[in-house]
């Protein structure tokens, strides 16, 4: 035998021994290329990534064959890193090659010890027998993962007359390896008497991984980037004027909320060493103008009513909404909780609703709607077509008013009213500029003052004084809406039955019921206010420089029509009659 073959025989055993080991495995029904006893089932089942396959010439196979010849029948080797299927797959992939390499080295070392022990026994002969039993005790071998979170054990059986595995032997070996945390004590206690304690891989200890804390975060209640969102109604129609570009906020309302970072949770290795954990990073609230941080420091709140914008660094609240140009398709309809300044015009078909004052640098065109919770100022006037509606909860100031309906809770001041429908709970002053009221209907609760009322052509111009103009206007609007809904209800009733008809009919009936309740409430409020006012309902006064023929003056139930031109006239109610002086 050559020197190379002798060294190979010492380290790995002879070829005959390897073949003998293979025959022994086959006798047990095992494939020497794969120590899995369930050979036929394993061939059809998907490969288990946690299972370690060994070639027939692997030193562990030879050790198993030697042990089997000495001890008789015994379970076949099985090396599975994760019997329960609970370990991370990426960790198993990383550790598998390390474990295979370390296992081969350990098996070779065990075989070399077995060879050396056999050689010493032959040299000593009978003298060795007199000294005591020859052999080696069972040896627990451990493999610790690179991150020191997992530890596996495989026990080599005793050699010769060596001692079998005991509980004390296993715990002493654990202590020698420094494994002191996360030990599976139940497994360690049963290994000493388990039938599969030799040549099987077990997860003997499992550490506790460290968990880094979560970073702080900001939960926004308003978008940082405003997107144009087109709403679709129940008729599958898109309102291209409603772009929803304005984000209204109330004073004290939360704009965003802070989610605080969490602390990291340290872990421990199987060697009972602490694994440090990182705490989450904190973030700051994006504070801007007209905002403040709440007392608990967890929320950003608005200091005033207005429009929320994100400037790139923080949220800010604008109490005044500035529109640099016209209200058109670039802005969509405007609905704002504060003041609105419009440098251009309000184009036809668009609406402006503000809880504060509205300032319009241009004109309010025909077919548009403007509602102000405060004052309304229109620099160039209101040019309507009979469908234009303007509402103000305080005062209205306009260059002129033509073919538009005006609803104002306090006073109205303008240069001219042409074919307008004005409902004013205060005074109407038309003295500047031309100072003319021509055509239409002007109803003021207190006083109407104008330079000219009517026209030389005796155009019908209606002046109404006293009463409750705004409340009566609301009642008229609700009555008109109720009539339209009744017509729509009759039209739907005449259609053929269908799911669409049922859906639309249900909605119309709901709106009918709601509108009827609103009308009933308005009627009750109007009657109650009239009773409380008494004779004050008929108080009102008209003052004008010229009142042309064709002008009608209404106070309460009384009406007077002028048949000739009156100059510097004053009209009021005296003893139940309208007196024109």
**pLDDT, tens digit (0-9, with 9 covering 90-100), for 118-175:** 666 555 554 444 344 456 788 899 999 999 999 999 998 887 778 888 888 999 999 9
Beta strand ranges found along 454-521 (DSSP E): 461-465
pTM of the model: 0.56
Query: In DSSP terms, which residues pair with 364 in a beta bridge?
Result: 346, 382
Work out the number of other CB atoms within 10 angstroms of the CB of residue 434. Answer: 15
Residue 397 vs residues 366, 380, 400, 479: alpha-carbon distances, Å: 18, 10, 9, 29
Query: In DSSP terms, which residues pair with 203 in a beta bridge?
Result: 152
106 backbone dihedrals φ, ψ, rounded to 5°: -65, -40
What was the pLDDT predicted at 510? 92
Q: In this structure, is the dihedral angle defined by the CA atoms of residues 323, 328, 332 and 335, taken in order, positive or negative? A: positive
DSSP class of residue 85 equals: S
What was the pLDDT predicted at 4? 44
Which residues of the chain register pLDDT less than 50? 1-4, 6-45, 126-133
For residues 256 and 221, the answer to whether their CB atoms sit within 8 Å is yes
Work out the number of other CB atoms within 10 angstroms of the CB of residue 418. Answer: 19
Residues 6+ apart with CB under 8 A from 183: 174, 204, 205, 270
For residues 475 and 526, the answer to whether their CB atoms sit within 8 Å is yes
Distance CA 319, CA 341 (A): 11
Strand order in the sheet with 248-249: 248-249, 306-310, 315-318
Beta strand ranges found along 373-528 (DSSP E): 376-378, 382-392, 396-398, 401-408, 412-414, 416-424, 427-430, 436-444, 447-453, 461-465
For residues 240 and 286, the answer to whether their CB atoms sit within 8 Å is no
Residues 6+ apart with CB under 8 A from 238: 230, 231, 232
Query: In DSSP terms, which residues pair with 142 in a beta bridge?
Result: 153
Beta strand ranges found along 282-324 (DSSP E): 291-293, 299-302, 306-310, 315-318, 320-323
What was the pLDDT predicted at 8? 44
- Within 210-325, residue ranges assigned H as helices are none
What was the pLDDT predicted at 534? 60
């Amino acid at each position: 035998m050559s020197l190379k073959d002798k060294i190979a025989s010492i380290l790995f055993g002879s070829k005959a021994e390897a073949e003998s080991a293979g025959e022994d495995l086959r006798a047990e029904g095992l494939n020497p290329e794969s120590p899995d006893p369930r050979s036929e089932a394993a061939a059809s089942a998907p490969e288990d990534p946690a299972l370690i396959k060994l070639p027939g010439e692997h030193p562990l196979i030879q050790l198993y064959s030697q042990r089997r010849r000495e001890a008789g029948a015994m379970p076949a080797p099985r090396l599975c890193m994760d019997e329960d299927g609970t370990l991370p797959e990426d960790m198993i992939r990383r550790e598998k090659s390390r474990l295979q390499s370390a296992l081969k080295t350990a098996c070779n070392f065990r075989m070399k010890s077995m060879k050396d022990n056999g050689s010493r026994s032959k040299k000593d002969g009978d003298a060795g027998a007199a000294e005591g039993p020859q052999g080696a005790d069972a040896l627990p071998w451990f493999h610790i993962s690179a991150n020191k979170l997992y530890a596996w054990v495989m026990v080599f059986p005793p050699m010769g007359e060596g001692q079998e595995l005991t509980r004390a032997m296993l715990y002493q070996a654990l202590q020698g390896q420094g494994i002191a945390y996360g030990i599976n004590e139940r497994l360690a206690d049963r290994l000493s008497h388990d039938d599969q304690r030799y040549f099987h891989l077990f997860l003997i200890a499992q550490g506790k991984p460290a968990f880094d804390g979560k970073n702080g975060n900001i939960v926004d209640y308003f978008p940082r980037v405003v997107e144009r969102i087109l709403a679709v109604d129940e008729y599958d129609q898109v309102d291209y004027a409603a772009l929803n570009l304005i984000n209204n906020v109330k004073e004290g309302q939360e704009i965003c909320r802070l989610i605080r970072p969490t602390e990291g949770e340290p872990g421990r290795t199987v060697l009972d060493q602490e694994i440090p954990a990182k705490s989450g990073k904190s973030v700051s609230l994006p504070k801007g103008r007209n905002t403040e941080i709440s007392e608990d420091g967890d929320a950003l709140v608005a200091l005033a009513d207005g429009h929320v914008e994100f400037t790139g660094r923080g949220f800010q609240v604008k109490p005044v909404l500035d529109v640099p140009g016209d209200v058109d398709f670039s802005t969509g309809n405007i609905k704002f909780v504060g003041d609105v300044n419009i440098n251009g015009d309000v184009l036809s078909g668009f609406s402006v609703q503000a809880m504060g004052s509205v300032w319009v640098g241009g004109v309010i065109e025909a077919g548009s709607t403007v509602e102000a919770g405060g004052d309304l100022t229109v620099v160039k006037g209101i040019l309507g077509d009979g469908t234009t509606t303007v509402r103000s909860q305080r005062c209205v100031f306009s260059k002129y008013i033509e073919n538009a309906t005006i609803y104002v809770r306090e006073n109205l001041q303008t240069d001219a009213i042409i074919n307008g429908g004005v409902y004013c709970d205060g005074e109407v002053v038309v003295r500047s500029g031309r100072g003319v009221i021509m055509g239409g209907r002007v109803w003021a609760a207190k006083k109407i003052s104008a330079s000219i009322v009517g026209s030389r052509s005796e155009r019908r111009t209606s002046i109404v004084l006293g009463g409750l103009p705004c409340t009566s206007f609301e009642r008229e609007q609700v009555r008109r809406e109720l009539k339209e809904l009744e017509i729509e209800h009759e039209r739907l009733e005449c259609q053929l039955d269908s799911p669409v008809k049922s859906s639309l009919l249900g909605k119309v009936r709901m709106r009918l019921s709601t509108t009827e309740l609103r009308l009933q409430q308005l009627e009750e409020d109007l009657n109650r206010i009239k009773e409380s006012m008494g004779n004050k309902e008929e108080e009102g006064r008209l003052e004008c420089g010229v009142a042309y023929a064709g002008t009608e003056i209404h106070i309460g139930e009384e009406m007077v029509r002028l048949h000739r031109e009156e100059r510097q006239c004053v009209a009021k109610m005296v003893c139940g009659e309208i007196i024109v002086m």
